[in-house]
Each structure stands twice: as C-alpha cells, then as structure tokens.
Amino acid sequence: MLKKITLINLLIGLIGFGQTELKFNLATAPLLVPNIGIEVKLSEKIGYQLDTSASFYNDIEGSPFHMTQIFNEFRFYPNKNKKRDFFIGAHVGYGMYNIRLPRWIANLSGSEFKEEGSYQYGRNAYYGITIGKKIPLKNERFGLEIFIGGGSSQSNYKYYNKEEQRIFAITNFKRKFNKSGEELPYRGGLMLIYKL
C-alpha cells in the first residue's frame, strides 16, 4: 500500500512540476493504431517521455494483427536559448506482437516462411535514439512534433502456419523461440501536443 501511495505522489509531483505535454500521433491514427504519450519537463534541457501504441485487429487477410509497444525515453534539448524545439533522445522499449508477415516483406527478404496465412507471435526489445523537432502553433497550448527513432530491435518469436502448427526456421532443430536482431528505424510520426 505504501508503494502505491509513493508512486501516486511521485506521478502527481512529476505532472505538477514544470510543463507536462500529452501527445497523440496523427500519422498512425488513420491506420487505427493509436499512439499516445506523455512528456514531463525535468529541467530546462531534459525531459522524460513515456509513450505506447497498440493495434487489436483480429483478422487482416485471414491473420491476426495484434501489436503493443511501450517506450521510455529521456530527451535532451541542446538549444542555447530556452526554446524546447529540436531534441535528441535515448530510449528503451518493449513490444509484444501476434502478426502476419506481409507477403512483400517475405518476398524481399527471401524468407522461407511464405505460406499463406502464416504468422508470428513474439516479444521485442528496443534500444535506440530518437530525433525530432517541436513546432509551436498559434494557440499556446497546442503544438506539433515530428520525430523518427530507430536502433536495435531484438525479437524472440514463434512462427505458425494458418492451421496453427509451429514452423521452425531450421527443420531439424526445435527450440522454444526463434530469435532475430536488426538495426532499423521502428518508430516515428507527427504528434499533436497538448500542454497542461
């Protein structure tokens, strides 16, 4: 109980300290994959952002498309004046997914998993950087933020065919999870900002 009270007090203190911004990604909204976030000003040049995105489609071309991501990010605003516009941030994220590999990606990558209706179920860890710029609007409470982020994406997943039978990358070697790691851009967009 004491931990809950301490956490609530900490969150109220962070929100009350400085300027807090609520964010909604306008780039992912048309795809019905909401991406929301909150950024708290820790000092003149440092901010902390927590954001999450998710999709819950049960059937896209016969396969599921469930994806959830959450990112913790510390941002540095290097401007000499007190404007908080350009930033660079270091982030750590976690994701879970149950998705079908799009055929065009399978064809480009030469993947052996081209079976119609096959899908992956797994977890991701993300480590990387984000760069972006905030653009003020006429109303002082609103703004826009354009950003892109990338780095290392480490995945542990299982691969299934449409009959929900497990497919293994190496047919004579069965293990709990397949693994992969890539360096790539994996987040970005145009956030609508509301300042509390």
Instruction: Dump pLDDT digits (tens) for 89-103.
Output: 999 999 999 887 666
Q: Looking at the DSSP assignment, which residues form a beta bridge with residue 192?
A: 24, 144
Residue 131 pLDDT:
98
Q: Is residue 164 part of a domain?
A: yes
pLDDT, the chain, mean: 84
Q: Region 106-115: what's the mean pLDDT? A: 58
Supply the pLDDT for residue 17. 55
Average pLDDT over residues 164-170: 67
In a domain, 9, yes or no: no
- pLDDT bin (cut points 50, 70, 90) of residue 84 is confident
Indicate if the pLDDT at residue 154 is higher than 90. Answer: yes
Pick the residue with more confidence: 62 or 187? 187
Q: How many domains does the chain have?
A: 1
Q: Looking at residue 41, what is its pLDDT?
A: 93
Q: What is the mean pLDDT of residues 69-85?
A: 90
SS3 of residue 116 by DSSP: coil
The domain of 54 spans 20-195
- pLDDT over 60 at 126, yes or no: yes
Q: Other CB atoms closer than 10 Å to residue 106's CB: what's the count?
A: 16
Q: Is residue 85 part of a domain?
A: yes
Handedness of CA 102, 103, 108, 109 (dihedral sign): positive
Min mean pLDDT across 76-80, 123-127, 150-154 is at 76-80
Q: How many other CB atoms are there within 10 angstroms of residue 103's CB atom?
A: 12
β-partners of residue 71 are: 51, 93
Statement: residue 137 has pLDDT above 80: yes
Alpha carbons 187 and 192: distance in angstroms, whole number: 16
Whether 64 is covered by a domain: the verdict is: yes
In 3D space, the residue among 182, 73, 181, 194 whose CA is nearest the CA of residue 131 turns out to be 73
What's residue 52's pLDDT? Answer: 96
Residue 151 belongs to what H/E stretch?
strand 142-160
Q: pTM for this structure? A: 0.78
| pLDDT value at residue 170 | 58
- For residue 13, tell me if it sits in a domain: no
In a domain? residue 182: yes
Predicted local distance difference test score (pLDDT) of residue 18: 57
| pLDDT of the residue at 111 | 56
Cβ proximity of 103 and 115 under 8 Å: no
Indicate if the pLDDT at residue 166 is higher than 80: no
Per DSSP, the three-state class of 52 is strand
**11 within a domain of the structure (yes/no):** no
Q: Is residue 52 part of a domain?
A: yes
Question: What region does 87 belong to: left with phi over 0, alpha with psi -120 to 50, or beta?
Answer: beta
19 vs 150: which has the higher pLDDT: 150
Residues 103 and 113: their CA atoms lie apart, in Å, by 9
Q: Is 55 helix (H, G, I), strand (E, B) or coil?
A: strand
Per-residue pLDDT averaged across 26-55, rounded?
93
